[in-house]
Amino acid sequence: MNDMSSPSLCAEELSRLAAEVARMGGLAETQVVDAVEGLIRRDSVQASALIERDLHLDAQQVDIERRAIALIGRYGPEGADLRRAVSAMKMAGNLERCGDLARNIAKRSLILSPVEPKGIMRALERMGRIAAGRLSDVVDAYVGREVEQALSIWRRDEEIDDHYESLFAELLELMRRDPASVGDGAHLLFIAKNLERIGDHATNIAEVVYFEATGLDLTVERPKWSLPDAVVTDS
Amino acid sequence: MNDMSSPSLCAEELSRLAAEVARMGGLAETQVVDAVEGLIRRDSVQASALIERDLHLDAQQVDIERRAIALIGRYGPEGADLRRAVSAMKMAGNLERCGDLARNIAKRSLILSPVEPKGIMRALERMGRIAAGRLSDVVDAYVGREVEQALSIWRRDEEIDDHYESLFAELLELMRRDPASVGDGAHLLFIAKNLERIGDHATNIAEVVYFEATGLDLTVERPKWSLPDAVVTDS
């Protein structure tokens, strides 16, 4: 039987849960920033440390989910409180996946050859900064419950896709010109894709912030699929 | 205030929710099978129809999440009932993502050149069958609440990864040998990656089935990160 006699206890646990999500957000941001830095500076120590640290994100996700479900089972929250608990689970899912993508970038950066194409690395660095910036901004929006900020991040989701498109074309051109670059080129393609996916998760997180505040679904309000869909590399 | 006077109403709504998840599972399976068939048979009509149908999966996910949250808010379920509602949300998230990956395969299959390497297409077909089979089996396990079946699917997650590794190597070899194949090769790399990801979602779904039945977390019981982690292409 739910313990509904303790609304203040429920509010207190919800705050602790949101703080745990914020902490996980901080770690996920760090992982993404380090993955991009490790790639650009070819810092294998940084990349290896990042791969180790990913375990913490996995553990935090499990912990946040457990606590959210336990809280719902104990207090039977409704309305905004229930949305806050569900949002914590959704946040944890998205942040854990960002961590996986950062770890995958680090793993690939460890096996790239030392001579990589400078122009492409600069483009990846720009793309990495945008992805990390989106993630950081949207975690801020979650922490501050800033719905307008979340909306503005959500609306800017094409920016990173444009970078991805042009990088994709550049990488194919390089691989056509120089068969010796095909191995590195393939890993760089996936690294670019991972950064684009991190940008998508920032978009998802913006939707979580909006849902938590309003109970509404952004993709229904303004469906993604009503936008132009000509770009085949969108997944 | 939760309406806890109606346990039978709650059970009835939970059954309807699970049925809606099962239906979504059926559509997601179809999408994956069609994506692989459309790719192998170069059937652009099938691929285009699949891309259209993805909207249904998106709508089903939104609907399942809303209903699960409304149900939790109304009845304040605990224990196994609460896990069943949470599992419905997690199922919907994984199935929607499988649909996205199938749609992405279809989009890429539409722009592949007509002459694709036969050996590689056969390898992709095998991989596609494994991925679709895993998804179908694990949806069965969800519907029948077959924990043992879910566990056996969960344990076999390396099989598809092995296929992916050898296909990855073959594709790079092709792209090195024939620069004209680089464009198709890149799309085929991503198609293979998408199939591997669908296999990963089947693994996630197996974890959901286990969690729903036991309240335990498979990744904590036998952490994924305790397994060999030498393969860089794992994300």
Interface of B with A in 44-83 (CB under 8 A): 54-55, 58, 62, 66, 69, 72-73, 76-79, 82-83
pLDDT in tens, A77-123: 999 999 999 999 999 999 999 999 999 999 999 999 887 788 899 99
pLDDT number for residue A232: 41
Residue B90 Cα, gap to closest chain A Cα (Å): 9
B126, B163 contact by CB (below 8 A): yes
B171, B192 contact by CB (below 8 A): yes
- In chain A, residues with a C-beta closer than 8 Å to the C-beta of B225 are 54-55, 58
Number of continuous H segments (helices) and E segments (strands) in chain A: 8, 0
Q: How distant, in Å, are the alpha carbons of A45, A126, A164, A170, B105 from that of A121?
A: 19, 9, 13, 11, 27
Helical residues (DSSP H) of chain B, grouped into ranges: 7-41, 44-75, 79-111, 118-144, 147-155, 158-177, 182-214, 218-221
Whether the per-residue pLDDT at A222 is higher than 70: the answer is no
pLDDT number for residue A226: 45
Residues of chain B with pLDDT under 50: 223-235
Q: Kindly identify which residue of chain A lies nearest to residue B189, measuring between CA atoms.
A: A186
- In chain A, residues with a C-beta closer than 8 Å to the C-beta of B100 are 235
What is the interface size between A and B, counted as CB pairs within 8 Å? 117
Any CB–CB contact under 8 A between A175 and chain B?
yes
CB–CB contact A69 B79 (8 Å): no
Question: pTM of the prediction?
Answer: 0.92
Range A16-41 average pLDDT: 96
Look at residue A112 and give its three-state secondary structure.
coil
Across chain B, what does the average pLDDT equal?
91
Residue B201 Cα, gap to closest chain A Cα (Å): 12
Residue A179 Cα, gap to closest chain B Cα (Å): 5
